Amino acid sequence: MAKLPTPQELVASRPDFPEQDWLDVKPQFTPGSYCYPAKKETMELLHMPNPHDWDPAAEDWNLPEDWEKILCDAFAERLEKHRSLKLFMDICVRCGACADKCHFFLGTNDPKNMPVLRAELLRSLYRRDYTMLGKILGKKVGARGWDKDVVKELFYYAYQCTECRRCSLFCPYGIDTAEITAIVRELLHEVGLGIHWIMDPVKNCSFTGNHLGIQPHSFVEIVEMLADDCETITGIRPKTPFNEKGHEILFITPSGDVFADPGIYTFMGYLMLFHELDLDYTFSTYASEGGNFGSFTTFNMAKKLNAKMYAEAERLGAKWILGGECGHMWRVINQYMATYNGPAPSCMMDVPTSPITGTKFTNAAATKMVHITEFTADLIKHNKLNLDPSRNDHIITTFHDSCNPARGMGLLEEPRYVLKAVCNNFVEMPENTIREQTFCCGAGSGLNTEEIMELRMRSGMPRGNALRYVQEKYGVNHMACVCAIDRATLPPLANYWAPGVTVSGLHELVANALVMKGECKRTMDLRQEDLPNVEPDETETQVEGQ
Amino acid sequence: MNALFQDQRDEIVNAWVEAVFNTYALETTGFLRTQNDPFANPVAHMTREAAGIVYDAVAGEDVDPAQVKKAIDRFVKLRAVQDGTPGQNLGVFLLLKPILRKMVLPRCSGSDALTSYYLEAESRLDSVMLLAFDMYTADRDIIAESRITEIRNQHAQLVRWAQKVGGSPLNPAGKE
Ligand code: SF4
Ligand code: SF4
């Protein structure tokens, strides 16, 4: 007679010495652990190689006939093209310094999510074909050949890395696992494997300019709706210049902030700030997405989407580009733009200069693109804004350093400077979770899709955990950030790990505190919720009294 | 009576923590054991936080359900999103039982009073398990809701705009 297993047997504590080596344990494609695949039509429209229908949970992924040759050739080509890749394959000494630094590893405890072993998935293939020892000794020295399970494994782990670069901070050789992941994703695209949440926005950005593929006239109307909201709150309707030639500045920000809550409040913050400054600027519908979704797919796609911004600046005759609160846009601008498309069009200004303060942003001389936080920090330093931080007195805020601005461009002080100027209560999260060491939101690099919410909650756990700590210890009830993906991914993360903490962009708080010339008495914040400490109007009280 | 459980508190708590760590892959347990920073090794910190209070509650110390819930909250949240079936993820609480039976039960032999005290302790572990079960399902509900909220939020302004211009079946006239 069969007996029920004991709880220990059910929980299946593993044996002391598992039979399988870590490299041989295959990932399980359970719902919630993988992203939905890109649609065949989308891939065809974008002229991606080998578009086909497939399902990550299925046994057969319908790979093209000669998939192994395609992958081997593609890998060889990348090794030839990117010297850094070859270096990363060769020089890792397996010291393990990076092993426990990845939020995916910390949340899943899956050894293959250790950066060193994540890279090893590709390195083992490299070893077989490109090292003498690997050729001779094979498996004994950790070399292996391509097979279909290896392809599946590469897919599984390349989309469990947010390319955040936290690991590379700790590597004595500076090995950038994020770039290895980027290459793996690129290789997978060669055999037609991509994910929907990335490829659909790539298609939309390519064809219509914004990530949802909203037609230009509708896009403008939505922005006007947001300007109407600004008027409701302040009595002033900010202007919304679109596609106008001859302005000094082209402003580009992620389109998510036009469509999604709570990003729209940050967008409204920009509108109000620029109106107050009477800034000589324009938006563009063609270049209305700053976030470079292409950078989650392939080098060429990233290059193409990046080029659009500069083509549009040139067409409109803008002297420089002001960029909004975005993550990947800034990584691409600071690390790759010059290689992709540099130098910037010669008609642009040598050194972008603030028309309000005269400050020359020499750091942006090559890219012609200034971060809005640098711009605003400079305004505050020169006393150009009338700010009333007490309007944000109902919040005790902390600041989440978004991976790309923090590690990809070193934007650490400016957001804090601005935040402290517009909020009276600011608390830092623990030292080993902020600034360069910041923990990812868990869903960057195109992983902010709802079907993997469960995975996002575990990869975002180290961030959520640090947030919860300051919530319990200091009563923090707000987290500011400078990235549109964060504004989408941190609210559910906070709701899970530290319920009660709201999330906003920096410029939402700036606009709350901004006292505009000729504004009506502010009683609401940008979310149209009551401001604290607002005395009721005398006239109103009288009317009520009567 | 409490001496029965108190004498070996640290050993038993550690043994349970080890049993939990052993549910993860071999390559990662060394790290879980050795790194003590609560932010650099949150899983171990959460597990240890839960272990201490769970043990005290089971041992019959003065611990009310709210305290237990608070102490196991992060741990249950973690288990609710990690790989594995609900049974496997919550079953870790029951891994305490064989440890108790090995280390505490033998000391009760011959005494009815001690034995019945021991059995009550095991029942209290069942209660902890039930509390955790409620929390686990609530956490899973949050995840399901988050998925819906996220879809709604992503297109929030689009829907508002569609209603305004008459593109919505609910509001064909385009009135706000
Ligand atoms: S880049 Fe980030 S997500 Fe990827 S392996 Fe490194 S730490 Fe992990
Ligand atoms: S820290 Fe660098 S050298 Fe050390 S294991 Fe990680 S990638 Fe390899």
- pLDDT, block means (10 residues), chain B with 176 residues: 84 94 86 89 94 93 89 95 90 94 91 92 94 96 94 84 72 50
Instruction: Pick from B45, B46, B154 the residue to mutate for testing the A interface (most A CBs within 10 Å).
Output: B154
Q: A116 in ligand 2 pocket by Cβ < 6 Å?
A: yes
Per the CB < 8 Å rule, is A461 touching B35? Answer: no
Domain contains A530: no
Structure tokens at A469: 């700590």
pLDDT of residue A546: 41
Shared-domain flag, residues A166 and A61: yes
From CA A50, how far away is CA A192, in angstroms rounded? 5
Q: What atom of ligand 2 comes closest to residue A96's alpha carbon?
A: 5
Amino acid identity at A187: L
Closest CA to B105 of B122, B91, B87, B88: B122
From CA A307, how far away is CA A301, in angstroms rounded? 10
Whether the CB of A488 is below 8 Å from some CB of chain B: the reply is yes
Shared-domain flag, residues A241 and A338: yes
Residues facing residue A321 across a β-bridge:
A250, A369
Per the CB < 8 Å rule, is A222 touching B161? Answer: yes
Shared-domain flag, residues A180 and A307: no
Which of A102, A116, A122 to probe ligand 2 with, by most ligand atoms within 8 A of CB? A116
Per the CB < 8 Å rule, is A259 touching B157? Answer: yes
Express the helix, strand and coil content of chain B in percent, nearest 5 each.
75, 0, 25
From CA B121, how far away is CA B99, in angstroms rounded? 13
> Which residues, in sequence order, are CB contacts of A419 under 8 Å at separation 6+?
A397, A399, A426, A480, A506, A509
Burial of B10 (0-12, 13-18, 19+ CB in 10 A): exposed
- This complex has an ipTM of 0.93
Domain contains A540: no
Q: A102 in ligand 2 pocket by Cβ < 6 Å?
A: no
- One-character DSSP codes across A89-105: HHH-----TTGGG-HHH
Range of the domain at A67: 27-194
Q: Which residues, numbered 91 to 110 in chain A, qualify as contacts with chain B under a Cβ-Cβ cut-off of 8 Å?
A: 99-100, 105-110
> Which residues, in sequence order, are CB contacts of A409 under 8 Å at separation 6+?
A330, A331, A333, A334, A371
> Which residues, in sequence order, are CB contacts of A480 under 8 Å at separation 6+?
A397, A398, A399, A400, A415, A419, A423, A503, A504, A505, A506, A509
- One-character DSSP codes across A102-142: -HHHHHH--GGGSHHHHHHHHHHHHHHHH-HHHHHHGGGGT
Q: How many Cα atoms occupy the beta-carbon half-sphere of A148 within 13 Å?
A: 10
**pLDDT by 10-residue block (mean), chain A, 546 residues:** 79 66 83 94 95 95 93 91 92 92 94 92 86 78 86 94 94 93 95 95 89 88 94 96 96 91 94 97 92 90 91 95 93 88 90 96 94 97 96 96 93 97 97 96 93 95 97 97 94 97 97 95 93 68 44
pLDDT of residue B37: 93
pLDDT of residue B172: 53
Domain contains A508: yes
Domain contains A22: no
> Distances in Å between the alpha carbon of A313 and those of A101, A236, A244, A282, A304?
39, 28, 11, 10, 15
Long-range contacts of A28-31 (CB under 8 A, 24+ apart): A28/B83, A29/A56, A29/A57, A29/A152, A29/A156, A30/B83, A31/A57, A31/A451
Shared-domain flag, residues A175 and A216: no
Shared-domain flag, residues A312 and A436: yes
Which of A164, A176, A179, A452 to probe ligand 1 with, by most ligand atoms within 8 A of CB? A164
Structure tokens at A238: 């900010």
From CA B97, how far away is CA B121, in angstroms rounded? 10
**Crossing angle between the packed helical segments A67-81 and A115-130, to the nearest 10 degrees:** 100
Give how many domains chain A has, as a whole number. 2
Domain contains A532: no
Check the CA dihedral A289-A295-A301-A306 and report its sign. positive
Structural domain spans, chain B: 2-148
From CA A428, how far away is CA A57, in angstroms rounded? 42
From CA B164, how far away is CA A66, in angstroms rounded? 52
Q: Which residues from A are below 8 Å from B25, CB to CB?
A: 14, 18, 22, 25, 109-111
Three-state secondary structure readout of A184-207 = HHHHHHHCCCCEHHHHHHHHHHHH
Verify cis geometry, omega within 30 degrees of 0, for the bond prior to A343: yes
Shared-domain flag, residues A161 and A47: yes
> Which of A194, A215, A237 lies at the terminal end of a domain, its last residue?
A194
Shared-domain flag, residues A131 and A234: no
> Which residues, in sequence order, are CB contacts of A379 under 8 Å at separation 6+?
A277, A354, A356, A357, A385
Helix (H, G, I), strand (E, B) or coil at A353: strand
Shared-domain flag, residues A274 and A170: no
Domain contains A126: yes
Residues facing residue A370 across a β-bridge:
A322
**Strand A502-505 with A478-481, pairing:** parallel
pLDDT of residue A1: 62
Burial of A355 (0-12, 13-18, 19+ CB in 10 A): middle
Residues facing residue A481 across a β-bridge:
A505
pLDDT of residue A536: 66
**Which residue, by CA, sits nearest to atom 4 of ligand 1?**
A161
pLDDT of residue A543: 46
Residues facing residue A479 across a β-bridge:
A398, A503
Q: What atom of ligand 1 comes closest to residue A165's alpha carbon?
A: 1
Among candidates B40, B95, B143 on the partner chain, residue whose Cβ is nearest the Cβ of A11? B95
pLDDT of residue A178: 93
Domain contains A388: yes
- One-character DSSP codes across B64-106: -HHHHHHHHHHHHHHHHHSSS-HHHHHHGGGGHHHHHHHHTGG
The answer to whether A62 and A219 have CB atoms below 8 angstroms apart is: no
A431 to chain B, closest Cα gap in Å:
9
> Which of A154, A175, A194 lies at the terminal end of a domain, its last residue?
A194
> Which of A144, A165, A194 lies at the terminal end of a domain, its last residue?
A194
Per the CB < 8 Å rule, is A7 touching B146? Answer: no
Burial of A357 (0-12, 13-18, 19+ CB in 10 A): middle
The answer to whether A166 and A258 have CB atoms below 8 angstroms apart is: no
**Which residue, by CA, sits nearest to atom 5 of ligand 1?**
A115
Shared-domain flag, residues A277 and A153: no
Which of A84, A85, A93 to probe ligand 2 with, by most ligand atoms within 8 A of CB? A93
Of the ligands numbered here, which is closest to the C-alpha atom of A172? 2
From CA A357, how far away is CA A368, in angstroms rounded? 17
Report how far ligand 2's centroid is from the alpha carbon of A180 (Å): 13
Q: A92 in ligand 2 pocket by Cβ < 6 Å?
A: yes
Report how far ligand 2's centroid is from the alpha carbon of A177 (Å): 9
Shared-domain flag, residues A383 and A313: yes
From CA A495, how far away is CA B142, in angstroms rounded? 8
Q: How many CB pairs under 8 A join A and B?
A: 152
Among candidates A8, A430, A457 on the partner chain, residue whose Cβ is nearest the Cβ of B81? A457
Residues facing residue A387 across a β-bridge:
A514
Shared-domain flag, residues A346 and A228: yes
pLDDT digits (tens, 9 = 90+) for A367-376: 999 999 999 9
Report how far ligand 1's centroid is from the alpha carbon of B62 (Å): 44
Q: A90 in ligand 2 pocket by Cβ < 6 Å?
A: no
Q: How many Cα atoms occupy the beta-carbon half-sphere of B41 within 13 Å?
A: 18
Q: How far is CA B108 from the centre of its chain?
A: 29
